[in-house]
């Protein structure tokens, strides 16, 4: 059975979704890869609100660079096609799903498209800690105006340690 992104993308939304994902990919492979990306065209099919500017996590970007490069080579052929020529082939949809997962990891924001049964687009934190001895905060923001999610798992919390999900001066609208 196809995964949710494949089901959602088997429609006329494939060209717009592919363009959006591929533009983020090209930016991450460019010399400006670590700079914030404030001005971008968000497709109508994106559900939720992204926290802009998009700012890549440099460590995660470095760790995922080879995978991003491979996906760029594979998807380049599809991006060069006319929108009417894009058909929801399994290889294309799987690659778009992989790219979306990589982009979510690098940007720390979920990218959800219409028709998917998953949380809306927006910032997320997924912390997994073995031992907490000091303080860990999932999200500390002065203005997240969209959906935000923090998931934290800690095996051992030492006496006096402090685990904070979110500190905020306003998270939603």
For residue range 67-104, list pLDDT tens digits in order. 999 999 999 999 988 877 777 788 888 999 999 999 99
Q: What is the pLDDT of residue 27?
A: 95
Asked if the structure places residue 57 within a domain, the reply is: yes
Q: Where a domain ends, among 89, 113, 137? A: 113
Contact 71, 95 (CB under 8 A): yes
Sort 74 into a burial class: Cβ within 10 Å, 0-12 / 13-18 / 19+: middle
Asked if the structure places residue 134 within a domain, the reply is: yes
Q: Show the tokens assigned to 100.
A: 């979306």
Same domain? 33 vs 93:
yes
Q: What is the pLDDT of residue 168?
A: 65
Q: Which residue numbers in the chain have pLDDT < 70?
A: 1-12, 122-127, 138-151, 165-173
Same domain? 153 vs 76:
no
Same domain? 90 vs 11:
yes
**Total of domains in the chain:** 2
Same domain? 83 vs 131:
no
Q: What is the pLDDT of residue 157?
A: 81
- Quote the mean pLDDT of the chain: 81
Same domain? 11 vs 88:
yes
Distance of alpha carbon 75 from alpha carbon 91, whole angstroms: 10
Question: Which H helix or E strand runs over 122?
Answer: strand 122-132
Which residues have CB under 8 Å from 33's CB, separation 6+? 27, 56, 61
Q: Give the domain range for residue 156.
A: 122-168
Q: Taking the complete model, does pTM exceed 0.75, yes or no?
A: no
Distance of alpha carbon 132 from alpha carbon 126, whole angstroms: 15
Q: What is the pLDDT of residue 100?
A: 95
Q: Where a domain ends, among 113, 134, 150? A: 113
Same domain? 109 vs 139:
no
Same domain? 65 vs 103:
yes
Same domain? 135 vs 164:
yes
Asked if the structure places residue 173 within a domain, the reply is: no
> Which ranges of 11-118 does DSSP label H, i.e. alpha helix?
14-28, 58-79, 90-107
Q: What is the pLDDT of residue 4?
A: 45
Same domain? 46 vs 108:
yes
């Amino acid at each position: 059975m196809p995964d949710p992104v494949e089901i959602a993308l088997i429609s006329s939304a494939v060209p717009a979704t592919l363009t959006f994902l591929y533009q983020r990919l090209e930016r991450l492979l460019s010399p400006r890869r670590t700079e914030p990306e404030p001005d971008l065209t968000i497709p109508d099919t994106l559900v939720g609100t992204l926290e802009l500017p998009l700012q890549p996590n440099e460590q995660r970007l470095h760790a995922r660079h080879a995978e991003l490069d491979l996906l760029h080579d594979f998807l380049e052929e599809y991006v060069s096609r006319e929108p009417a020529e894009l058909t929801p082939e399994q290889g294309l949809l799987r690659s778009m799903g992989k790219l979306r997962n990589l982009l979510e990891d690098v940007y720390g924001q979920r990218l959800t498209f219409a028709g998917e049964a998953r949380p809306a687009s927006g910032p997320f934190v997924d912390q997994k800690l073995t031992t907490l001895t000091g303080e860990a905060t999932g999200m500390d923001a002065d203005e997240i105006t969209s959906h935000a999610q923090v998931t934290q798992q800690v095996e051992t919390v030492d006496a006096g340690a402090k685990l904070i999900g979110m500190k905020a001066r306003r998270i939603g609208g």
